[in-house]
Structure 1
């Protein structure tokens, strides 16, 4: 309101007799109190209540200066209506991350120091393979500390207590466990985010049609998800990134007990000399799967030595870390997924990146999104299995060529993490993303054209006699 309008309003109020102005004050007070009490006790109007009462609480309405009722209330309401009462927002311009992994991890790309101080509550709506707490609820540590993002402890908390259903800002449902739709529809609030989360591929997922127009956000390994929940449990980030610098400062200032490790970016001769058990190794527990990876390995064995570990094949050592043992004794690790689905990349790839072994990938992902192309070998780059086998043998025997696959790790550090570290990003998004959203067809988004049948394995042509 400009100065001229303020003056007009002031003179208009001045013309009202004193007794009349007092009656107007009382009248307005009664109306405002009635509206506030109604909104306070009506849960469906809780969001509206928060929006309307903020300007009222910030102003001294019932003062001798009657002008406040006219101009300043109006200005305050306009300000809160246009900002939704929140100065923070999701900065989509910074979602692209200049380092690897190059997908929108909000912890890496958003300014965490500008989050709203009000804590958000995340409810686990169902179990994770029948585990109601997902192993995230602890009496000794906060949920965010369990997830290795203790710097978010004051911004979010996680519970599996259904008595807080209506109070939760987000309700997370695991797509492989039963969802109580009756309970959800009974207690759901308009401001809540229902989150679909899953780490299994569509090839191993039932129909999601009962949940169309039910979810607001997705939290899966797929890069088009609202929160990317990749298998990067052993979180790695560039030592020059803003995120790493932030963690170092927070760790020193608040004693968060965070530890950072560096992977060996140039394995020594001693490390290479320990690789005596063979050239290529795989760790496979599930002998099934639609990717036909065992068929591929069977053909590959005709041209290079390959050892397959797992509960149905060669057993891992009873003591120690099996992946660490394999990395110490072999040159190449077959990171073959059980299904070829869009972006489906599991611990078979991410779990070995910090170890001195080169991943050989076979999946339906752009692996150069996760690490530089110089850090892995893709079977799709070879016309047939014999060409792949020949390249692996040549690389093993060429010391400098083999070591070049580790050079990218020089500038990266590894932090502790878990499969559920994506809850940290969910916490951040709850603070920053206020746009309404409903996923009308979650079944189509998850299933349609997301998996492919493996191509026929190309074998070398037999020479004619």
Structure 2
């Protein structure tokens, strides 16, 4: 018996044609008979937020090939050789389930076993961990993709000037990466009208994935507003340095309005509570200030608060309207000085209708669909769909040239 599951993709922002994906599943077999519809890989963005080229959201799944691809984690992740995955005893399906894409279990396997280097279709290297360059260059195969993986900004990156013609793909938070590994994945949200959401629901029904999908509160009650009684704005900061000068910025802003700093650089949150949840309930605004002002660098400072009943104030070098509507956040770069920013925040705090309008975008979104390493699922998809030869001539130039800026200089 063959079960037909149809997934229709909407036209992307790059005007790529809409593709009808047909996945044929044999219920009595572990194999999937796939009709190859359009093998040519096309990078597309979603018509829903976030407008990122996340492959599992936007790619033509009917183009996947039967042969399973092997992904080798070439080194550790901050010393963790397993990358937090059960790669020794877990099956490919279990591993892909850990990554929140169990539907790819028949198409990719993940290993940390360096003895399988020659078998690997892709080798992912985390640039903050040691890489055995000699062994890699000696044993690499022509078909293999070496993947540059990094979640840190350039100021916190080791010297990579020697990496010329070594990598084939990039997996970083940059929008122009081959695989976008945004911090969004740790606190991902998807629209309930999206094809991917409907597909997840079908997969959950068929395979009991135990999805923990959550709705954010987009209609704050009077009681919730009354509980915001500790102040206007707060920040949670553990790195007291940083190239962005965010602590200096906040201290100058404190001369114009009340701002409380929590974390290692300020006050401690109450014991046995989630600090972001605490701030979200007790304050009106959360200062989502990055430690580096680098192209597209957007971390959990922004994404981790979106599920909470608080408005993010952003300070970074990225287009935040890629992630959520501009009506859902306040960008400090829109103001000319501290006085103007403070006056606006005070005005919004006491304008109930205006304040509540910042939450309306959340109405049709759900959270809980992925985790930090879910972009590895995109590596899997791209291995199947993109056979175009690619060698990055100068990794250092791509990563470091003209990508970061100095702190914003404001009049007091």
1:89 to 35, 39, 58: 39
Question: Which residue is 2:163 aligned to?
Answer: 211
Question: Which residue is 1:116 aligned to?
Answer: 65
Query: Per the alignment, in what secondary structure is the counterpart of residue 308 of structure 1?
Result: strand
Q: Which structure 2 segments of 5+ residues have no match?
A: 1-35
User: Do the aligned partners of residues 275 and 347 (structure 1) sit closer, same or farther apart at CA in structure 2, a change above 3 Å counting?
Assistant: same
1:261 to 207, 214, 218: 214
Question: Which residue is 1:183 aligned to?
Answer: 135
TM-score, normalised by the number of residues in structure 1: 0.78
Q: Does 1:349 align with 2:298?
A: no
Q: Matches of 2:56 and 2:249 in 1, distance apart?
A: 38
The CA deviation string for residues 336-387 of structure 1, in whole angstroms up to 9 with x for no partner, is: 0001000000000011111100000000000001100000000011110111
Q: Matches of 1:177 and 1:90 in 2, distance apart?
A: 34
Question: Which residue is 1:229 aligned to?
Answer: 181
Question: Which residue is 1:50 aligned to?
Answer: none
Taking the TM superposition and a 5 Å limit, the aligned residue runs for 1:53-452 are 89-92=39-42, 95-138=44-87, 139=89, 142-232=94-184, 233-452=186-405
Taking the TM superposition and a 5 Å limit, the aligned residue runs for 1:35-54 are none
Question: Which residue is 1:72 aligned to?
Answer: none
User: Do the aligned partners of residues 237 and 90 (structure 1) sit closer, same or farther apart at CA in structure 2, a change above 3 Å counting?
Assistant: farther
Query: Per the alignment, in what secondary structure is the counterpart of residue 211 of structure 1?
Result: coil
- Once superposed, what is the RMSD of the aligned Cα atoms? 1.4
Q: Which runs of 4+ in 1 moved over 6 A?
A: none
The CA deviation string for residues 207-230 of structure 1, in whole angstroms up to 9 with x for no partner, is: 211111000000000000000000
Contact 1:296 1:457 in 2 (8 A): no
Higher helix share: 1
Contact 2:240 2:264 in 1 (8 A): no
The CA deviation string for residues 20-64 of structure 1, in whole angstroms up to 9 with x for no partner, is: xxxxxxxxxxxxxxxxxxxxxxxxxxxxxxxxxxxxxxxxxxxxx
Contact 2:41 2:386 in 1 (8 A): no
Q: Which structure 1 segments of 5+ residues have no match?
A: 1-85, 460-465
- Give aligned pairs, total: 373
Query: Per the alignment, in what secondary structure is the counterpart of residue 307 of structure 1?
Result: strand
Higher strand share: 2
Q: Matches of 2:389 and 2:266 in 1, distance apart?
A: 50
Contact 1:132 1:160 in 2 (8 A): yes
Cα offset, 1:174, TM superposition:
0.4
Contact 2:125 2:149 in 1 (8 A): yes
User: Do the aligned partners of residues 195 and 140 (structure 1) sit closer, same or farther apart at CA in structure 2, a change above 3 Å counting?
Assistant: closer
Query: Per the alignment, in what secondary structure is the counterpart of residue 210 of structure 1?
Result: coil
The CA deviation string for residues 190-245 of structure 1, in whole angstroms up to 9 with x for no partner, is: 10000000000011112211111000000000000000000011111111111111
TM-score, normalised by the number of residues in structure 2: 0.88
Cα offset, 1:147, TM superposition:
1.2
Q: Matches of 2:334 and 2:52 in 1, distance apart?
A: 23
Q: Matches of 2:360 and 2:40 in 1, distance apart?
A: 34
User: Do the aligned partners of residues 388 and 284 (structure 1) sit closer, same or farther apart at CA in structure 2, a change above 3 Å counting?
Assistant: same
Give 1 or 2 for the bigger CA radius of gyration: 1
